[in-house]
Structure 1
Amino acid sequence: MILRKGFLRRKFETALIRLAIAILMGRNMTRSLVVSRRDNNDMWYMAEQLDDIAKRISKNYT
C-alpha cells in the first residue's frame, strides 16, 4: 500500500523518477543503432528535467 502523502511517498516517488532517469541516461550512453541522434538528445534533455523535478519533490517543493 502506498501512502497518499508524507515523507515516505515523496521518497518513493523520487526513487521512481530517478529510476526513469537512469533508464534514459543509460539508453543514451551507448549509441543505439535504432535510436536517432535527435531522439538521444531529447532523452538526455528529459532526464535532466526529471532530475530537477525529483529534487523538488524530495525537498517538498521548498
Structure 2
Amino acid sequence: MKRFIRRKFEAWLILLAAKILEGRNVHRSPVVSRHDNNRMYGMAEELEDIAERISSKYR
C-alpha cells in the first residue's frame, strides 16, 4: 500500500510540473525565447507520459 501511495504521489508531482511548463506556452513570456518556450511545451508532454507510466507501474 505504501508503494502505491508513493507511486501515485510521484506521478501527481510530475503532472504538476508538466502543468506549470504547459501553462507558460499559453501566453508567451517576454523573457523566454520562442525556442525555449517551444521546448518547455514539449517537456510538458514528455512529463505527462512519464507520469502515466509511473502511475501504471510501467505496463
Shared fold (TM-score greater than 0.5)? yes
The match for 1:9 is 6
- The residue identity in structure 1 corresponding to 2:31 is V
Tell me which stretches of 4 or more aligned residues in structure 1 moved more than 3 Å.
none
- Give the TM-score taking structure 2 as reference length: 0.92
Superposition RMSD on alpha carbons, in Å?
Answer: 0.9
**What is the number of equivalent residue pairs in this alignment?**
58
Q: Distance in 1 between matches of 2:11 and 2:51?
A: 5
Equivalent AA in structure 2 for residue 41 of structure 1: N
Quote the sequence identity (%): 64
Q: 2:22 aligns with which of 16, 20, 25?
A: 25
Whole-angstrom distance in 1 between the partners of 2:31 and 2:52: 31
